[in-house]
Amino acid sequence: MGPRERMKNMHDAVIVGGGPAGLYAGWKLARAGFRVALFEEHPTSGQPVHCTGVLAADAFEEFELPDDSVLNQLRTVQFHAPSGNTIEYATPTVEAVVIDRARFDRRLAERAALAGAELSYGERVTNVAVDGGGVRVTTPSTSVHARVCVLACGASYAVQRKLRLGMPRLLLHSAQAELPARRLGDVEVHFGERVAPRGFAWAVPVQRERPYVRIGVMCAQHADRHFDRMLEDIAPRWGVERTAQCQPRQKILPLGPIERTFAERVVVLGDAAGIVKPTTGGGIYYSLLSASLACDTLTGALGRGDTSAAALGEYQTQWRKRLGSELRWQLVLRRIAQRLTDEDIDGLFALARTDGLMPLVRRTAAFNRHRDFIVALLKHPPARRVLFRAALA
């Protein structure tokens, strides 16, 4: 086969992973006229569901997302201290919504396919090999040769290690399940050694044909055990019955970006790049943003015929401009938070009630942007004393 024939049979981009980042990238690149192949290891889009499915309300307009996956809106959250004290916080407007994550992914897949992307399911990628003529992505049943490869494979890092791109700076464990409930409540966030050491636990209301609740934990280890404790604590309040459905899905949460999110002919998105909120482990918005920025870089690079590491490095430059400071400050708070004792957490709750912390939260907190709040928190003398004491412990 001669060079012209090889180019004719070559894809412009091959995407590894069919979650939001990969599907969004597939749609954008196919819509721009590029030939795109996408491999997803699971048999269908949106399954299995590991995600809490809470997304910023303004993301739908920003990324032109289909909104028929929205189940309900969120405005009020109750924070629970280890001692049992609670603080309620309500936003003046709707900042977040709960989505049906399986439906959300299916809609993204349908849109990508309509734009011309070739989606293959049940195909686990076993190798990614870059050579002078392109990049070859191999599965047990086929292989695709493309000009570039987009890694959107979630918290899986074999290829990143092979390409010497680095690993996320911090890994935590999570477990979550969606369970039928007899009544809905507000979002709950629980802190403390018993339910979520070095992390937190949550309960999120879900309005389907009947009430459901998504219960989960993010912690240092043994997420399944801590999930059981969280479920035990909140089941009476929400009317959750213990059934076989209570087995949670578990996953690794990468917190902190890998050293390089690009290489020759390769870019890395979302969870695969560690581009996740270190404070909460939330990943949908940052995955979509990284995919959008990567596609901007890839569109220019493919158009110029320059897919070198130097050319694709523009993607990392751009996401660092948008998110670099945000991720650094969130990682600072996450590392401090992992050292907080139950006594420290109770102390911060007491400050929130008496020392002006709640007005600070209302002035600076935003769903996707936590930097301003973190900086303000570290400037608040009583809170700073608690946090610095924990950091130096």
Answer with the one of 278, 309, 325 that is the final residue of a domain: 325
Looking at the chain, the number of H-run helices and the number of E-run strands are 13, 18
CB atoms near residue 201 (< 10 Å) = 29
Contact criterion met (CB below 8 Å) for 38 and 20? no
Residues 6+ apart with CB under 8 A from 105: 18, 19, 20, 23, 45, 46
Residues 175 and 122 in one domain: no
Token representation of residue 25: 């990238």
Token representation of residue 238: 């929400």
Answer with the one of 203, 238, 253 that is the final residue of a domain: 253
Residues 181 and 274 in one domain: no
Residue 206 domain-assigned?
Answer: yes
Residue 250's H or E segment, with its range, is: strand 249-255
Residues 22 and 161 in one domain: yes
Domain count, the chain: 3
Residues 228 and 302 in one domain: no
The CA dihedral of 199, 276, 155, 316, to the nearest 10 degrees, is: -150
- d(CA 346, CA 279) in angstroms, rounded, equals 19
Token representation of residue 40: 């997803």
Range of the domain at 28: 3-48+101-169+258-325
pTM (2 d.p.): 0.94
- d(CA 294, CA 287) in angstroms, rounded, equals 10
Answer with the one of 189, 219, 253 that is the final residue of a domain: 253
List, for the chain, all residue ranges whose pLDDT scores fall below the cut of 50: 1-6
Q: What is the pLDDT of residues 298-314, one digit of tens each?
A: 999 999 999 999 999 99
Average pLDDT, the chain: 93
pLDDT at residue number 169: 87
pLDDT at residue number 5: 41
Burial of 350 (0-12, 13-18, 19+ CB in 10 A): middle
Q: What is the pLDDT of residues 144-195, one digit of tens each?
A: 999 999 999 998 899 999 999 999 989 999 999 999 999 999 999 999 999 9
